[in-house]
Amino acid sequence: MTATSKNIAGLAVLALAVPALTSAADGSVGQREYESKCAMCHGATGEGDGWFAQHLKRSPSPLTQLQKKNGGVFPFDRVYQVIDGRKEVIVHGPRTMPVWGNVYRAESDKAYGSALEQYFADDGLVRARILALTEYISRLQKPK
C-alpha cells in the first residue's frame, strides 16, 4: 500500500468516525470517555468522590477546581498531557493515574489492526479521544 493510499484510508476512517463521535444522542464523546475512564475515581461530577476513590492510597483531585486554581483559565494543555500520560508532567507530581494515551493506543490498534497502520502511527484517534475528554472536563468547572 502506498503512502497516498494509506493517507486516504486514514481520512476515510476519520470521515466515517466523526459523525459517530459528534452526533450521539446519549452524550458527547468526551462525556462517554469520562464516564468510562474517569468517573470511577473522580466521581460523576468531577468532585473526586468516585466509588473507587476509597481504595486508592491518594485521593483523586477534584476536577471541578482546575480553572479556579489556574487564575480563572482552564489549563487545557496541562490536562491533556496528564490524561495522555506518555510524557512526564513534572507539575502533576508522581504518576498515580493510568496512562490513558497508551490505553487508547492499544484499543485503536486492537480495533483496527494493522490495515491502517500508517494512519494510526500518528495517533490521530488517540488525540481525538483525549481532546474530547479534556473538553468535557473543561465543562465540569465550577464558577469562581
Does residue 128 belong to any structural domain of this protein? Answer: yes
What residues contact residue 23 under an 8 Å CB cut-off, 6+ apart? none
Q: Which of 24-28, 72-76, 115-119 has the lowest mean pLDDT?
A: 115-119
> Looking at residue 117, what is its pLDDT?
58
Does residue 121 belong to any structural domain of this protein? Answer: yes
Residues 95-116 have a mean pLDDT of 68
Q: Where are the alpha helices (DSSP H) in 1-144?
A: 3-22, 29-37, 39-42, 66-69, 76-84, 100-112, 117-120, 124-139
Place of cell 494512519: 119
Q: Can you give the residue range of the structural domain that contains 71?
A: 3-139
Say how far apart CA 86 and CA 101 lie, in whole Å: 6
Place of cell 459523525: 19
Cβ-based neighbour number of residue 142 at 10 Å: 14
Does residue 144 belong to any structural domain of this protein? Answer: no
Does residue 19 belong to any structural domain of this protein? Answer: yes
Tens digit of each residue's pLDDT (9 = 90 or more) over 21-62: 444 445 789 999 999 999 999 999 999 999 999 988 888 889
Tally of domains in the chain: 1
> Looking at residue 24, what is its pLDDT?
46
